[in-house]
């Protein structure tokens, strides 16, 4: 964010002011030189002799400024991310709960002091260079007076010519020193340009060309291997098939790879080997926007924009009418709640929706995805337990959302698992068991054992606490 806002501002002057300044200064120097040579060529040579001395220190000064400027920009990044992390709602809550105000204050003080020192250094770089240029502006006319006096005595140069010549000198040295300053500015601005271009040069996500106007919703994974980092494989030989309209539940320990599996479908990542097919078409061949337009995602951590409820819902479909929005809210069991708010759909939800409860946020997210009306739905059920009323509201909202769509559910609730058409038990990046609830029970494997433990212990709403190593995930 710093690069797209502050860095762009930072080079603003170099881009806008410099070109005009370069042209006018070069024009002034050229016309002055002509006038000087017309007056007296020998005095002109003396006057020009000083100019290379002005240009000589440009290289080292520019390089030094480039280095310091780069460091100041990096320090600004650090401050930016620090303030963003600590001044966000979640950050403030964390700081307060751990009573870390003083620690954060010190951290901010340290970074901002570092930045102050760097900015001072940046301002001081080349001060001696400016002093040197100023000295040359004084030395130049002195030399001309000296030479002029000599030629007046020896070669009959008139006093009038010398005075006119010295008057012209200002029009030579001032633009020359301005050009020198601009050159240094440009070299140091390169540090900022490089940062901006690093982003502009980023390659867009690879996309296929195939448009998918309609999708049935058949999903196949074929020997999919995936790793975020080469040394740590996360998915090993994932193979499965889901028919259109089926609900597939993924269960397994925390870190097993369930979320990763679902993220490969909309191509947030691509597998290192194997294929993922939608309706028999490799997702890599499909245009990425077209692919994602058919997929809806509801994550555990619902993200809402700091905007009204209506605007957040409309994010699902920008041209949705008010009636459609309200219908989606009703289907997601959130309409009654919205009606109780004084400002209804115009209520602003706060940063990331912090003015709403977790359950309300999730139901809004379901309404938003209902408006999008995708053929494929990815649901990551929240592990946090909600009160039974909220639980039931979300459950029925989920069921409505899944109706008629191919759904991949990272299931934590037993009721979802029981209603799934097929259950995949994921462990260590592999699918260790698969089948319907009944089949898995009859097989008497891991799933059956887990289910019985659950059954014997009485009715628990979630399967999470009984799976070995199955901790609440984030």
CB contact set of 372 (below 8 Å; sequence gap of 6+): 296, 316, 317
CA dist list (Å): 94 to 51, 91, 120, 462, 472: 61, 5, 34, 27, 19
Among 2, 32, 259, 454, binds ligand ATP (CB under 6 A): 259
300 contacts 474 by C-beta, under 8 angstroms? yes
Among 234, 286, 320, 377, binds ligand ATP (CB under 6 A): 234
Among residue numbers 191 through 230, which ones bind ligand ATP (CB under 6 A)? 228
Residue closer to ligand ATP, measured from CB, 254 or 308: 254
Q: Rule CB under 6 A: is residue 2 a binding residue for ligand ATP?
A: no
Which segment (105-113, 248-256, 370-378, 453-461) binds ligand ATP by CB under 6 A? 248-256
Shortest approach of ligand ATP to residue 473 CB, angstroms?
Answer: 3
Contact call for residue 256 and ligand ATP (CB under 6 A) = yes
Supply the Cα-derived Rg of the chain in whole angstroms.
35
Contact status: 260 vs ligand ATP (CB under 6 A): yes
Q: Which of residues 62 and 257 has its CB atom nearest to ligand ATP in the complex?
A: 257
Stretch that binds ligand ATP, among 174-182, 257-265, 281-289, 449-457 (CB under 6 A): 257-265
Q: Is residue 416 close enough to count as binding ligand ATP by CB under 6 A?
A: no
345 neighbors 325 (Cβ within 8 angstroms): yes
In the region spanning residues 332 to 351, those forming contacts with ligand ATP, defined by CB under 6 A, are: none
Integer angstrom CA distances of residue 190 from 127, 202, 424? 20, 18, 53
Judged by CB under 6 A, the residue of 78, 290, 347, 473 near ligand ATP is 473
CB of 259 to ligand ATP, least distance (A): 3
Which is nearer to ligand ATP, 57 or 233 (by Cβ)?
233
Q: Which of 88, 174, 254, 384 binds ligand ATP (CB under 6 A)?
A: 254
Whole-Å CA distances, 324 to 22, 283, 327, 369, 472: 59, 31, 5, 12, 35
Name the residue nearer to ligand ATP (CB basis): 3 or 412. 412
Assess 246 for contact with ligand ATP (CB under 6 A): no
Give how many residues touch ligand ATP by CB under 6 A. 11
DSSP secondary structure letters along 99-163: T-HHHHHHHHHHHHHHHHHHHHHHHHTTHHHHHHHHHHHHHHHHHHHHHHHHHHHHH---HHHHH
Q: Shortest gap between Cβ of 258 and ligand ATP (angstroms)?
A: 4
Number of residues that this document lists for the chain? 474
384 binds ligand ATP (CB under 6 A): no
Q: Does the footprint of ligand ATP cover residue 257 (CB under 6 A)?
A: yes
DSSP assignment of 355-423, as one string? Answer: TS-HHHHHHHHHHHHHHH--SEEEEE---S---HHHHHHHHHHHHHHHTTSEEEEE--BHHHHHH-SEE
User: Are the C-beta atoms of 357 and 388 separated by less than 8 Å?
Assistant: no
* Residue closer to ligand ATP, measured from CB, 129 or 424: 424
Residue nearest to ligand ATP (CB): 473
Stretch that binds ligand ATP, among 131-139, 241-249, 250-258, 370-378 (CB under 6 A): 250-258
152 in Cβ contact with 161 (< 8 Å): no
Residue of the chain from 233, 237, 245, 255 that contacts ligand ATP (CB under 6 A) = 255
Q: Name, in order, each residue with C-beta under 8 angstroms of 267's C-beta and a sequence gap of 6 or more.
A: 205, 283, 284, 288, 291, 292
Q: CA triplet 179, 185, 186: central angle to 5 degrees?
A: 90
Q: What is the nearest approach in angstroms of ligand ATP to the Cβ of residue 227?
A: 8
Contact residues toward ligand ATP (CB under 6 A) are 228, 234, 252, 254-260, 473
């Amino acid at each position: 964010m710093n690069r797209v806002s502050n860095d762009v501002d930072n080079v603003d002057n170099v881009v806008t002011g410099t070109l005009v300044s370069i042209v006018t200064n070069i024009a002034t120097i050229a016309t002055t030189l002509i006038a000087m040579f017309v007056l007296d060529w020998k005095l002109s040579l003396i006057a020009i002799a000083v100019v290379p001395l002005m240009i000589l220190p440009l290289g080292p000064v520019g390089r030094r400024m480039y280095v310091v400027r780069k460091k100041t920009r990096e320090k600004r990044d650090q401050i930016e991310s620090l303030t963003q992390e600590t001044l966000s709602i979640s950050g403030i809550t964390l700081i307060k709960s751990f009573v870390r105000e003083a620690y954060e204050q010190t951290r901010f003080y340290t970074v901002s002091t570092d930045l102050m020192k760097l900015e001072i250094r940046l301002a001081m770089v080349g001060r001696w260079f400016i002093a040197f240029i100023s000295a040359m502006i004084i030395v130049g006319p002195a030399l001309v007076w000296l030479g002029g006096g000599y030629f007046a005595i020896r070669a009959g140069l008139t006093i009038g010519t010398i005075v006119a010549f010295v008057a012209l000198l200002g029009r030579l040295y001032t633009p020359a020193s301005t050009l020198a300053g601009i050159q240094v500015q440009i070299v140091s601005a390169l540090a900022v340009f490089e940062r901006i271009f690093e982003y502009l040069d980023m390659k867009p996500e690879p996309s296929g060309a195939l448009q998918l106007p309609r999708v049935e919703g058949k999903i196949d994974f074929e020997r999919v291997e995936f790793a975020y980092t080469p040394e740590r494989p996360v998915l090993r030989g994932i193979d499965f098939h889901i028919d259109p309209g089926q609900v597939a539940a993924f269960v397994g320990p925390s870190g097993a790879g369930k979320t990763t599996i679902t993220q490969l479908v909309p191509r947030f990542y691509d597998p290192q080997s194997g294929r993922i097919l939608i309706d028999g078409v490799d997702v890599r061949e499909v245009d990425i926007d077209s692919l994602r337009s058919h997929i809806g995602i509801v994550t555990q951590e619902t993200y809402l924009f700091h905007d009204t409820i209506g605007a957040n819902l409309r994010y699902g479909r920008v041209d949705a009418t008010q009636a459609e929005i309200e219908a989606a809210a009703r289907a997601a069991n959130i309409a009654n709640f919205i009606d109780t708010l004084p400002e209804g759909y115009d209520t602003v939800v706060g940063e990331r929706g912090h003015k709403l409860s977790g359950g309300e946020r999730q139901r809004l997210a379901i309404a938003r995805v209902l408006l999008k009306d995708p053929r494929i739905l990815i649901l990551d059920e929240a592990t946090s337990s909600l009160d039974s009323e909220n639980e039931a509201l979300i459950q029925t909202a989920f069921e409505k959302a899944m109706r008629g769509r191919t759904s991949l559910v990272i299931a934590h609730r037993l009721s979802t698992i029981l209603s799934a058409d097929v259950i995949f038990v994921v462990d260590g990046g592999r699918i260790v068991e698969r089948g319907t609830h009944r089949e898995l029970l009859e097989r008497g494997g891991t799933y059956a054992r887990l289910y019985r433990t659950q059954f014997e212990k009485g009715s628990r709403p979630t399967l999470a606490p009984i799976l070995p190593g199955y901790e609440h995930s984030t």
